[in-house]
């Protein structure tokens, strides 16, 4: 039987740091309030001439280098993003061209902050069915472009960045299982209520912004992310004690802490980057994964549980052995 295995990780953050002190000069808020409520101290913001594909490219090059492969070895590219450079072609196609790869399928997946989990699920199935041998999976966002910087409920939360992994076919399991879910009845609780087909006039009025019912999103995120840990462990006949690291979606430190407490996973086993990255949507999980791989916390053979939660609502998880 063929399995998929993570053989390389990479990430990229824009140079510009937007601190809580900077936000104090932009909107009615303060550093202490933001840190207590969210755990965020700073977030990165893409330059005016820097776009989602640019971030995705830099993260991909690092992942490819870490994997020790050539660009030509890649036969599948999936980019998870909510902030595509263009309506079409896909950001994945733009990235494919940047990398000089011709021929294999390249497409985007849109599940907002759970996007990377959905993309990983799809890539894993491609490899397990023999439709691909080496996949590049990227989560990349310039989320700052869909934020109203006068809305203190949302502007304090989000940042830009990209993370990537290379998956390769292997005889030994690497991705042990993936689990994805959605429920559209919660569509209005976290969304950008503007698109190409609907309310398009608002785009020209500069109103294509993220809206969020924070309290409802918090409660749902904690419940869904806690439950999917149990689902993942049950599917693999594993106990919580066998998980070496939990990498949750980096949305809010209170959500992360609540999920860890509810799942009874010690805080020292939870990877946290939200303090320095903010919520980078589809990029948050692969960014955190790459950081923990590169600083030596995550070691070969360890079990890592990844999970994400976002608008839709959509949520997902993956259990991987490094």
Give the residue numbers annotated as catalytic, written as ranges.
113, 249, 279
At residue 134, φ and ψ (nearest 5 deg) are: -150, 110
- For CA atoms 274, 272, 255, 174, the dihedral sign is positive
- 132 token code pair: 């691909």
C-beta of residue 55 within 8 angstroms of C-beta of residue 12:
yes
Residues 249/229, Cβ–Cβ less than 8 Å: no
Whether the bond into 161 is cis, omega within 30 of 0: no
| Angle (deg, nearest 10), helices 253-263 and 214-235 | 40
- What's the sign of the alpha-carbon dihedral 180, 186, 190, 194? positive
Task: Tell me the chain's radius of gyration from C-alpha atoms.
Answer: 18
46 Cβ contact partners less than 8 Å away, ≥ 6 residues apart: 14, 16, 54, 55, 142, 144, 145, 160
Residue 100 is classified by DSSP as T
Task: Classify residue 28 as exposed, middle or buried by CB count within 10 Å of its CB (0-12, 13-18, 19+).
Answer: exposed
**Helices and strands (DSSP H and E) totals, the chain:** 10, 13
DSSP assignment of 119-140 equals HHHHHHHHHHTTS-SEEEEEEE
């Amino acid at each position: 039987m063929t399995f998929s295995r993570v053989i390389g990780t990479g990430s990229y953050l824009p140079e510009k740091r937007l601190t809580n002190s900077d936000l104090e000069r932009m909107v009615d808020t303060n550093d202490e309030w933001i840190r207590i409520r969210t755990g965020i101290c700073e977030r990165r913001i893409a330059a005016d001439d820097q776009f989602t594909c640019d971030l995705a490219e830099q993260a991909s090059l690092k992942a490819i280098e870490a994997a020790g492969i050539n660009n030509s070895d890649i036969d599948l590219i999936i980019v998870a993003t909510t902030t595509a450079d263009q309506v079409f072609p896909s950001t994945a196609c733009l990235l494919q061209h940047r990398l000089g790869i011709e021929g294999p399928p390249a497409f985007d997946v849109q599940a907002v902050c759970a996007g990377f989990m959905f993309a990983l699920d799809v890539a894993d199935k491609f490899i397990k069915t023999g439709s691909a041998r080496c996949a590049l999976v990227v989560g990349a966002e310039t989320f700052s472009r869909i934020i109203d910087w006068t809305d203190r409920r949302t502007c304090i939360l989000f940042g830009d960045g990209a993370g990537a992994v290379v998956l390769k076919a292997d005889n030994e399991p690497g991705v042990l299982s993936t689990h994805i879910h959605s429920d559209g009845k919660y569509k209005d609780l976290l969304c950008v209520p503007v698109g190409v087909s609907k309310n398009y006039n608002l785009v020209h009025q500069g109103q294509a912004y993220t809206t969020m019912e924070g309290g409802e999103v918090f409660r749902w995120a904690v419940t869904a992310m806690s439950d999917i840990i149990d689902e993942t462990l049950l599917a693999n006949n594993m106990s919580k004690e066998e998980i070496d690291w939990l990498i949750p979606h980096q949305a809010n430190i209170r959500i992360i802490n609540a999920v860890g407490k509810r799942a009874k996973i010690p805080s020292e086993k939870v990877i946290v980057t939200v303090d320095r990255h903010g919520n980078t949507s589809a990029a948050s999980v692969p960014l955190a994964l790459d950081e923990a791989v590169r600083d030596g916390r995550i070691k070969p053979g360890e079990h890592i549980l990844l999970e994400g939660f976002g608008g839709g609502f959509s949520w997902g998880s993956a259990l991987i052995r490094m």
